[in-house]
Chains A and B, each alone.
Chain A
Amino acid sequence: MTTPMVGVIEKVKTWARVNSPWVIHFNSGSCNGCDIEILATLTPRYDVERFGIKLQGSPRHADVLICTGPVTLQARDRLVRVYEQMPEPKFVVAVGSCGISSGVFQGCYNVVGNIGDVIPVNVYVPGCPPRPEAIIYGVVQLLKSLQN
């Protein structure tokens, strides 16, 4: 194939990827505060289907892994497995202060560390817990970075 053809195909692929991010939500030990905010983000009030964002149940169908909380000893293997089950290309958004630095759980006997210690993270959304607007903003930042 000629190079301009490849360029066009790549553009189409990126366009599709940016316009249809399907997310899966994983809680690796958070206090549930962030999860409630994520669920609020998915309600009709914020209507993320406008941007093509859809919550998927299966990691095989998802493009974006939204994680919350610090990583506990128990959840560590599961988090890695869910991440590895996702097909390429895949992205990770860590939501909440705990995902950034283990937050209030830092130093606990059962906490391995933050999400970035276990799997590569593309976008961090700070807040304890972040508002739905902040979560949407975080996903938008991720999509913007894909476009460039």
Chain B
Amino acid sequence: MNLSLSPLVELLFFPGGLVLLASGLVYEFVDRKLVARFQNRIGPRWFQPLADVIKLLAKEEVIPAGVVKGLFIFLPIVALTSILTAALYVPMFGLKPAFSFPGDLVVTVYLLSLMTLCIGLAGANTEDRFSLVGATRALTQMFSYEAPFLLALLGPAIALGTWNIGQINSAAGNNLWFIIAQPFGFIAAVIGLMGKLELPPFDAPEAETEIVAGALTEYSGRGLALFRIGRDVELVIGLTLIASFYLGGLANPLDFLWKTLILLLVTAALQSLFARLRIDQTVGLWWRIGSIMVLLQLLAVVVGRLIAPLIPFLSSGG
């Protein structure tokens, strides 16, 4: 766990860079396969995400009329870069985070949101009406899940008294698992991640039956490939974050594997269980139920921390 690699190797291959991209593709495959099995299908072959990405990279990239060209080309790059940067602060594969500083939790969460922001901008950049509707929906959805998701991650952080992901990760392992201590926070975090990744039932921003392909309608080839990889890596990072916060921390790669895969099983099951929500239903769900649940949870955590010194029996739960 305390391996020290040279920073360049860390950035390019492991745990950043190539291995991260590869793990994103593997997790996409597992996700698609699980959903297929839940729908009683055989599902894709193991190399499917890789073939998709290579094919997209080899395709022509059409730059439609009416877009700001620079923005059109750079947005996918910014999206992927921010996601890869976020990975540096997260205990990927159960290893120590490559970099860390007090308060990196907030930075990581906002780097993860940059992806959605880029998708929104990409949609607003083109003249296509479907992209515009998709962009509006993506940003609306972002405003609804972002606060509860952040609050859900803050629950363990406040309980442990540190906003450093690495410290939370190691401290979470020594405590009662937060999924038991703060069940509402866990639910909000998992569902928030699904909203972030626009997985069903929160896929209104890219609903192909209504608005073609949402904000990314006009993207082809390279841009689409980068957005896809970005989303895959975001899936891995999100699962890692939730597993390290709520499932008792990630002490080693094996821990990482089984905890994230169980989380993936849960999200895949939710994906195949529910039908798509309308955008107003999504927003209503988050603001009426999600945020109130998480706020109550947070209140309980804060009160718990205040009265914990008074009652020695409670002090381990948070």
Judged by a CB distance under 8 angstroms, whether B48 is at the interface is yes
Instruction: Return the contact of B213 from the options A50, A61, A63, A88 (Cβ within 8 A).
Output: A61
For residue B48, which residues in chain A have a CB less than 8 angstroms away from its CB? Answer: 19-20, 49, 52
User: Which of A10-18, A91-99, A100-108, A120-128 lies at the interface with chain B?
Assistant: A10-18
A52 touches B208 (CB 8 A): no
For residue B61, which residues in chain A have a CB less than 8 angstroms away from its CB? Answer: 87
CA distance A101 to B22 in the complex (A): 47
For residue A12, which residues in chain B have a CB less than 8 angstroms away from its CB? Answer: 54
Judged by a CB distance under 8 angstroms, whether B43 is at the interface is yes
CA distance A49 to B40 in the complex (A): 12
CA distance A58 to B208 in the complex (A): 8
How close is B291's CB to chain A, nearest CB, in angstroms?
Answer: 32
How close is B176's CB to chain A, nearest CB, in angstroms?
Answer: 41
Question: Using an 8 Å CB-CB cutoff, how does the interface string of B15-54 with A read, 1 for contact, 0 for none?
Answer: 0000000000000000010001001111111011011101
For residue A55, which residues in chain B have a CB less than 8 angstroms away from its CB? Answer: 208
A50 touches B44 (CB 8 A): yes
Instruction: Give the contacts of A24-62 with B (CB-CB under 8 A).
Output: 44, 47, 49-50, 52, 55-58, 60-61
For residue A16, which residues in chain B have a CB less than 8 angstroms away from its CB? Answer: 50-52, 54-55, 58
CA distance A89 to B224 in the complex (A): 16
How close is A10's CB to chain B, nearest CB, in angstroms?
Answer: 9
Q: How many residues of A contact B (CB 8 A)?
A: 23
User: Which of B150-158, B193-201, B215-223 lies at the interface with chain A?
Assistant: B215-223
Instruction: Return the contact of B220 from the options A17, A20, A52, A87 (Cβ within 8 A).
Output: A87
**A19-B48, A60-B218, A61-B220 known; A87+B62 contact, CB < 8 A:** yes
| Among B51, B55, B220, residue most surrounded by chain A Cβ atoms (within 10 Å) | B55
Judged by a CB distance under 8 angstroms, whether B129 is at the interface is no
For residue B212, which residues in chain A have a CB less than 8 angstroms away from its CB? Answer: 57-58
Secondary structure call for the B interface: loop
A49 touches B59 (CB 8 A): no
| Among A15, A20, A58, residue most surrounded by chain B Cβ atoms (within 10 Å) | A58
B32 touches A49 (CB 8 A): yes
Instruction: Give the contacts of B130-180 with A (CB-CB under 8 A).
Output: 130
Instruction: Return the contact of A20 from the options B52, B62, B213, B219 (Cβ within 8 A).
Output: B52
In the complex, the chain B residue whose C-beta lies closest to that of A14 is B58
For residue B43, which residues in chain A have a CB less than 8 angstroms away from its CB? Answer: 47, 49-50
In the complex, the chain A residue whose C-beta lies closest to that of B208 is A57
CA distance A47 to B45 in the complex (A): 12
Judged by a CB distance under 8 angstroms, whether A85 is at the interface is yes
**A16-B55, A19-B51 known; A58+B217 contact, CB < 8 A:** yes
Question: Using an 8 Å CB-CB cutoff, how does the interface string of A97-139 with B read, 1 for contact, 0 for none?
Answer: 0000000000000000000000000000000000000000000
**A49-B36, A50-B42, A52-B44 known; A13+B219 contact, CB < 8 A:** no
How close is B66's CB to chain A, nearest CB, in angstroms?
Answer: 14
B220 touches A47 (CB 8 A): no
For residue A56, which residues in chain B have a CB less than 8 angstroms away from its CB? Answer: 208, 213
CA distance A100 to B61 in the complex (A): 31
How close is B199's CB to chain A, nearest CB, in angstroms?
Answer: 16
Instruction: Give the contacts of B54-86 with A (CB-CB under 8 A).
Output: 54-55, 58-62
How close is B231's CB to chain A, nearest CB, in angstroms?
Answer: 14
For residue A49, which residues in chain B have a CB less than 8 angstroms away from its CB? Answer: 32, 36, 41-44, 48
CA distance A36 to B54 in the complex (A): 32
For residue A58, which residues in chain B have a CB less than 8 angstroms away from its CB? Answer: 130, 212-213, 216-218
CA distance A52 to B53 in the complex (A): 12
How close is B200's CB to chain A, nearest CB, in angstroms?
Answer: 15
How close is B95's CB to chain A, nearest CB, in angstroms?
Answer: 31
Instruction: Return the contact of A50 from the options B39, B45, B50, B130 (Cβ within 8 A).
Output: B45
Other than A60-B62, A61-B224, give 16 A-B pairs with Cβ distance below 8 A: A13-B55, A16-B50, A16-B51, A17-B58, A20-B52, A44-B40, A49-B42, A52-B45, A52-B51, A58-B217, A60-B217, A60-B220, A61-B213, A61-B216, A87-B59, A87-B60
Q: Closest 4 CB pairs between A and B?
A: A57-B208, A16-B54, A87-B60, A19-B51
